[in-house]
Structure 1
Amino acid sequence: MSIPFFDLHVHSEPDTYSRRYSPLSLGQEMKAAGAGAVLKSHLTATTSVARMAREQGYPIYGSITLNQYAGGVSTQAVQAALAANGQDAPMVIWFPTLTGHGAKPRLSQPKCHPVLDTYPVKLERVSEEGRLRPDTIDVIQLAVDFGIPMATGHSSKEEVYMLVEEVDKRGGRIMLTHPCHSCTGFTTSEVAELLQSSHVWAEVAILMTKLGYESPDDVLDLLQAIDPGRVCVSTDFGQLKNETVTEGYAWFIEQVRTSAASRGLEIPDSLVEQICRTNPMKFLGV
């Protein structure tokens, strides 16, 4: 069955790890599927390569992840990524992902270049001494000023609460990046509480189900606990060991529907389209 989707979280080359996609090969898949995707890299801003893909007719959008490789938590890094993005396309700002928070990754992946093993990157975090860094607050304000959606990255649970509070205060929008991951470990009720704010959205990443961080039953619990209007299903795919993005959505929805059927529930097509396509496009602003 064909699943309508718009993926806010796909990894392609160049990235810290070797990936199955280039921006163009991902663009070709998205165009064939009638879909779209946001490129994410732990290594560098993707706005310039996404712009080139769009100029060739592919529905690909860019982002920056504020790791040290890309300049860290810095308004200058965001300004450069935004300028490279062009004036008429949205993008995403991810707060750092190479933070040291959480358990050892469950997925072993080859680094893209030996230099990354020779010179390990300095970890980057959004807070110091229990409060957000001034640079973090400056990035939030810049994002609000230019209407750029943000995502929490691999911030700790305490940092996520601080980020949400600051975004709430300034009127932006922010996505909880796979909140079930070990770096935060939010419960369903905690996610539901955070989504009481109209500025907060929640990602359901298919990779988290693949890796066992959450189950289809957990996804159902979340959808029953909250209004699904700010829930976005993404893949977080691009790994060499995983299937394509299009196959990932089909697999995931089948798993959730099977779990729902065991409870005597049904997942209608309208809900699938809402959480897989309509909500992500609304969050991004396309």
Structure 2
Amino acid sequence: MFDCHVHAAPDIVPRIGDDADVLDAYRSDGFHGFVLKGHYESTVGRARALSRGGMPVLGGITLNQAAGGINPAAVAAALAAGGRVVWMPTADAHTQERAGLPRLCDRERRLDRRVFAVPPVDPDAQTAADLVLALIADHDAVLATGHLSGPECAWLLDRARRFGIRRVLLTHPSYTVPALTPAEIAELAEAGAHVEITAYQLLHQPGCTAAALAAVARAAGDRLVLSSDAGQPDSPPPPQALLRLVDELAGQGLDRGALEAAASTVPARLFLA
């Protein structure tokens, strides 16, 4: 199994354990590797230190305010240091603010409430976004759409094709943000994007059910990627969270072999091959 979305301490919110604790959990459960995500800092150095233990651990950068938003310089530095993924804005996306979901500026009131977007929501961001995409293409890294809206995901996918990006992941598109429908997700999958479903959605997303996630999985087809997005103290350990997601979706009549591939060989190929 290969979990392409997990959180660990240090972070600005409590986590179930630190980097080494999470590594030990995956090793104990026989996982092949994982991708360490942080909303507010690059995880490239942390992942590199963990991978010395023999298990592939990958990191990247999320383009929130702490990274300067859609900031090509931050992306260039992260990718040059070995980063494998660039997440578009998450906690500081305009969708996050509109939905009233947590942001760093909620904790530190002296920060402004600036939000970030790409075309067509913010046409002025195209020059910076295009350079970010060019850098991702240069390094054959993964472009993850973050919490951006459906029209922005479609724009990113179109631009990714123009820049020759081979690896695009829709970040939990059925989550509260961006809340895409199965039909919208199917259209983006048919255009070449992989589609993520997370255990976090099953465990914590208001109104989310295994049946709703199964509809998303069917829309994704063979481009489905399952991850944990775990690390919260009130979630199971990340490996167990991902395995639970597989079980719940299998209980909805989906093929278990295909689900296990979506939690192992498909994301490993997306991030490692």
Q: For residue 243 of structure 1, give the secondary structure of its aligned residue in structure 2.
A: coil
For residue 283 of structure 1, what is the amino acid of its counterpart? Answer: L
Q: Does 1:31 align with 2:41?
A: no
| Secondary structure at the counterpart of residue 50 of structure 1 | helix
Distance 1:71 1:96 in 2: 10
Gaps of 5+ in 2: none
Separation of aligned partners in 2, 1:56 and 1:117: 40
Assess if the C-alpha contact under 8 Å between 1:202 and 1:232 holds in 2: yes
**Do structure 1's residue 208 and structure 2's residue 204 form an aligned pair?**
no
Unpaired segments of 5 or more residues in structure 1? 261-265
Amino acid at match of 1:195: A
Q: TM-score, normalised by structure 2?
A: 0.88
Identity %: 27
Conserved 8 A contact 1:16-1:42? no
Amino acid aligned to 1:124: F
In the alignment, which of 244, 263, 267 is matched to residue 276 of structure 1?
A: 263
Give the secondary-structure state (helix, strand or coil) at the position aligned to 1:138: helix
Contact (CA 8 Å) 2:72, 2:131: kept in 1 or not? yes
State TM-score, norm by structure 1. Answer: 0.84
For residues 113 and 238 of structure 2, what CA distance do their matches in structure 1 show? Answer: 29
For the 8 Å contact 2:228–2:239, the answer to whether it is kept is: no
Give, in angstroms, the shift of residue 60 of structure 1: 1.6
Paired AA for residue 175 in structure 2: H
Determine the C-alpha separation between the residues in 1 that align with 2:114 and 2:20: 31
Given that residues 30 and 59 in structure 1 are in contact (C-alpha distance below 8 angstroms), is that contact kept between their aligned partners in structure 2?
Answer: no
Who is 1:125 aligned against?
117
Moved more, 183-192 or 52-61: 52-61
Q: CA deviation at 1:46?
A: 0.3
Structure 2 contact 197–217 (Cα < 8 Å) conserved = no
Distance 1:114 1:127, change over 3 A: closer
The aligned counterpart of 1:15 is 11
Query: By how many angstroms is 1:178 displaced?
Result: 0.8
Partner of 2:42: 45
Label 1:238 to 1:130 Cα distance change in 2 as closer, same or farther (>3 A). same
* Contact kept in structure 1, 2:4 and 2:227, CA below 8 Å: yes
User: Secondary structure of the residue that 1:37 maps to in structure 2?
Assistant: strand
Counterpart contact for 2:228–2:242, Cα < 8 Å: yes
In 2, distance between residues paired with 1:83 and 1:238? Answer: 27
